[in-house]
Structure 1
């Protein structure tokens, strides 16, 4: 079905645009059947810092494993966690 779409208005800032889309249906403004999937490979996932207390002996063993792999120990911990919960 070919129907006439409404023109998307101009916005003075992101807050105004956000308020607009919170109260309007995008289907009235965008033909989603014509949308193309976009891949954004350079985006990094949002991260947050945590504090984790480990026995020194465990941390030393992790650092030794990281050193063998020539990677930072925190990156190795993240990799292991991702594999485990994966």
Structure 2
């Protein structure tokens, strides 16, 4: 099958289930992640907390923002 062919949902599912690359059949420009839309939130932290966040983020090899998001997700999940 070529990327220009139209395939059925069943064919797509079978290809996916078989571990085949189905990316040619996906229009990534229209992809959405439900309930994952980003919204900006501003939070003020004391300087000592930012220092400790940066230290822990560095230890884990992630950004400060990623660390904060991971910790909040753990508490909410």
What TM bracket, shorter-length normalisation? 0.5 to 0.7
- Runs of 4+ aligned structure 1 residues displaced above 2 Å come to none
* Number of residue pairs the alignment of both structures matches: 48
Distance 1:61 1:47 in 2: 25
2:64 counterpart residue number:
73
Taking structure 2 as the reference length, what is the TM-score of the superposition? Answer: 0.54
Tell me whether 1:52 sits opposite 2:33 in the alignment. no
Taking structure 1 as the reference length, what is the TM-score of the superposition? Answer: 0.49
CA RMSD of aligned residues (A): 2.3
Structure 1: where are the runs of 5+ without partners?
1-34
Distance 1:59 1:71 in 2: 14
- Over 3 Å counting, the alpha-carbon distance change for 1:85 and 1:70 in structure 2 is same
Distance 2:66 2:52 in 1: 14
Larger Rg: 1
